[in-house]
Amino acid sequence: MELGLALLASAFLGTAVVLANVGLRHLDPARGALVSIPSTALMFWLLVPFLYRGEVGSATALAIFAVVGLVFPAVVTLLNFASNRITGPTIAGTVSSTTPLFAVFGAVLFLGEPPTLAAAAGTAAIVLGLVALTARGGRASFTSRTITRSRWRAASPRMLRACAASTKRSIN
């Protein structure tokens, strides 16, 4: 069930990235966010009668979720729309799929979760997948003027060493 919910969330997010790209043909990212975020708030207000049961919760939890709300959806939406407009939905969506990379590191650093081989392997796959996606034919597909073949050759060993070090740390 949990995996199904995560896959459904991913499907909706992927669909939203593609639809946002169509909308960004007519509006800039900031104005798109000014429409998107209030529509999200409206949806939640419509769900209040079904989800709210009268409990308030702790002040700490409310403060944490208020900060989370500033970051996501507010800042994330602006950044997502801007990157979508610049790179297109395929690359923007793929790069935004690095969320697990940051979630793994954050969980290890801030929550004390033990790193696992599976998390390290997944993180390495994400980094290598981004390299493969953006370095078609030796040139990055969305910034071919700034990322050259020699820069990718110089960066690739460092990325591989970082992935190997991450994997080694998770095993130990």
In this structure, is residue 42 part of a structural domain? Answer: yes
Q: Phi and psi of 166, rounded to 5°? A: -65, -45
Say whether both 68 and 103 belong to one domain.
Answer: no
Categorize the per-residue pLDDT at 128 as very low, low, confident or very high, splitting at 50, 70 and 90: confident
Q: What does the chain come to in residues?
A: 172
Q: How many domains does the chain have?
A: 2
Q: How far apart (Å, rounded) are the C-alpha atoms in residues 151 and 148?
A: 5
Q: Are 12 and 62 in the same domain? A: yes
pLDDT for 136: 58
Say yes or no to pLDDT of 170 above 50.
no
Query: Residue 36: which domain range?
Result: 1-87
Q: What angle do CA 162, 144, 156 make, to 5 degrees?
A: 15
Domain boundary among 87, 121, 153: 87
Q: pTM, whole model, 2 decimals?
A: 0.69
Spatial separation of the C-alpha atoms in residues 98 and 55, rounded to whole Å: 35
Measured CA angle at 155 (ends 103, 95), to 5 deg: 35
Q: Does the residue 93 lie in any domain? A: no
Burial group, residue 104, by CB count within 10 angstroms (0-12, 13-18, 19+): buried
Would you give the DSSP letter of residue 146?
A: T
Q: Tokens 């929550």 appear where?
A: 111
Which of these three, 87, 111, 141, is where a domain ends?
87
**Cα gap 46→38, rounded to integer Å:** 12
- The confidence score (pLDDT) of residue 147 equals 46
92 part of a folded domain: no
Q: In the listed set 37, 60, 87, which residue is the last one of a domain according to the structure?
A: 87
Provide the b/e sequence for 12-23 (b: ≥16 CB within 10 Å): eeeebbeebbeb
Instruction: Please name the amino acid found at residue 31.
Output: R
Q: Give the position of tokens 């290890």.
A: 108
Cα–Cα separations (whole angstroms), residue 70 to 2, 73, 78, 116 = 26, 7, 11, 30
Q: pLDDT confidence of 140, banded at 50, 70, 90?
A: very low
**What is the structure's pLDDT at 71?**
92
Residues 138-148 have a mean pLDDT of 46
